[in-house]
């Protein structure tokens, strides 16, 4: 079985169009058809039904899909294991929640390089949903995220929480916060639920954003009030123009380490989990 058959099958499963898959893979439609036919012959089952309405996977295709993803992931890992890297023994692809990147990325990578000196790292800030998808396919090895998405092949472990504080350009107390000048933070479903429970009157704000940097930019441009990750909030208050809103609750955002289930007991991964936990627990300036 050729790996291009698997790649074509998974792409077609997503696109539901032989033409679209051909365009995305840069080959002809006849090539896509030939690959799917070869895969069908290899597994002994019809995988797609074509009609004027489009292309639909058969029951057999849906059953094959999780195994195909594992095969592609294993092949990716196999290729990485034999790449020439000089003194580098291992390459790890690590993703980190976008909102954590500003404060944590530099210190975290520094810690990782000390912990695993013969390892090369590729670091990519991203959102939780994409990180989970990349961990399943093997394009990422380890993630630090806000919102774990339960999957049979993924393992998640709590590593701490990040505090967010309410600051304002005009309000000094919670009673002075103006709802029409409030920027609602949507960092994760958990954060949003905690916010709605604690501050229901501010949860229908006219402007919302999904990152501390976006909230900061909006507040600097328009003025108003909003929750920002505590280190950024401290810096904004220290430089002037912003003040703490007294009486406002501190809202904590849980953070999780994520990896493929099979890696959960490997020594390097356990060390990374402990490192991230220690880094998040370290006091911030």
pLDDT higher than 90, residue 25: no
Computed over every residue of the chain, the mean pLDDT equals 88
Whole-model pTM over 0.75: no
Between these two residues, 70 and 158, which has the higher pLDDT value?
Answer: 158
pLDDT higher than 60, residue 273: yes
The pLDDT value recorded for residue 59 is: 92
- Cβ proximity of 146 and 96 under 8 Å: no
The C-alpha atoms of residue 140 and residue 118 are separated, in whole angstroms, by 18
Collapsed DSSP state (helix, strand, coil) of residue 54: strand
The pLDDT value recorded for residue 212 is: 85
Report the 3 state secondary structure along 194-248: HHHHHCHHHCCCCEEECCHHHHHHHHHHHCCEEEEEHHHHHHHHHCCCCEECECC
**Quick one: how far is CA 99 from the chain centroid?**
11
The pLDDT value recorded for residue 200 is: 93
Q: Poorest-confidence range of 14-18, 138-142, 148-152, 281-285?
A: 281-285
Mean pLDDT, residues 123-145:
89
**Quick one: how far is CA 182 from the chain centroid?**
27
- Cβ proximity of 264 and 202 under 8 Å: no
Mean pLDDT, residues 221-230:
94
The pLDDT value recorded for residue 106 is: 86
For 178-222, the pLDDT digits (tens) are 999 999 988 889 999 999 999 999 988 899 988 888 999 999 999
The C-alpha atoms of residue 147 and residue 254 are separated, in whole angstroms, by 8
Q: Which of 103, 100, 120, 101 lies closest to 112 in space, CA to CA?
A: 120
pLDDT-based confidence at 80, cuts 50/70/90?
low
Mean pLDDT, residues 159-175:
95
Beta bridge partners of 128: none
pLDDT-based confidence at 89, cuts 50/70/90?
low
- Cβ proximity of 184 and 270 under 8 Å: no
Mean pLDDT, residues 145-161:
92
Collapsed DSSP state (helix, strand, coil) of residue 268: helix
Category of 95 on φ-ψ map: left (φ > 0), alpha (ψ -120 to 50) or beta: beta
For 28-64, the pLDDT digits (tens) are 999 999 999 999 999 999 999 988 777 899 999 999 9
Report which secondary-structure segment, H or E, holds 109: helix 98-115
The pLDDT value recorded for residue 1 is: 60
The C-alpha atoms of residue 259 and residue 121 are separated, in whole angstroms, by 15
The pLDDT value recorded for residue 77 is: 67
**DSSP 8-state code for residue 2:** -
């Amino acid at each position: 079985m050729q790996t291009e058959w698997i790649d074509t099958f998974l792409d077609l499963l997503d696109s539901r169009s032989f033409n679209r898959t051909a365009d995305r893979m840069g080959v002809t439609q006849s090539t896509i058809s030939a690959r799917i036919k070869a895969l069908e012959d290899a597994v002994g089952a019809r995988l797609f039904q074509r009609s004027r309405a489009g292309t639909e996977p058969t029951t057999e295709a849906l059953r094959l899909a999780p195994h195909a993803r594992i095969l592609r992931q294993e092949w990716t890992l196999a290729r990485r294991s034999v790449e020439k890297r000089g003194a580098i023994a291992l390459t790890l692809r690590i993703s980190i929640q976008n909102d954590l990147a500003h404060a944590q990325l530099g210190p975290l990578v520094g810690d990782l390089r000390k912990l695993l000196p013969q390892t090369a790292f590729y670091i990519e800030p991203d959102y939780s949903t994409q990180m989970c998808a990349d961990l399943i396919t093997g394009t990422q090895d380890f993630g630090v995220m806000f919102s774990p998405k339960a999957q049979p092949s993924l393992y998640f472990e709590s590593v701490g929480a990040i505090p967010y504080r309410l600051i304002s350009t005009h309000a000094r107390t919670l009673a002075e916060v103006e709802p029409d000048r409030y920027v609602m933070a949507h960092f994760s479903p958990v954060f949003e639920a905690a916010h709605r429970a604690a501050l229901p009157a501010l949860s229908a704000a006219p402007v919302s954003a999904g990152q501390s940097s976006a909230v900061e930019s909006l507040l600097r441009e328009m003025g108003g009030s909003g929750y920002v990750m505590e280190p950024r909030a401290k810096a904004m208050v220290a430089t002037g123009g912003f003040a703490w809103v007294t009486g406002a609750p501190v809202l904590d955002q849980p953070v999780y380490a994520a990896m493929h289930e099979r890696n959960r007991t490997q020594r390097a991964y356990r060390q990374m989990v402990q490192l991230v936990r220690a880094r998040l627990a370290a006091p911030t300036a």
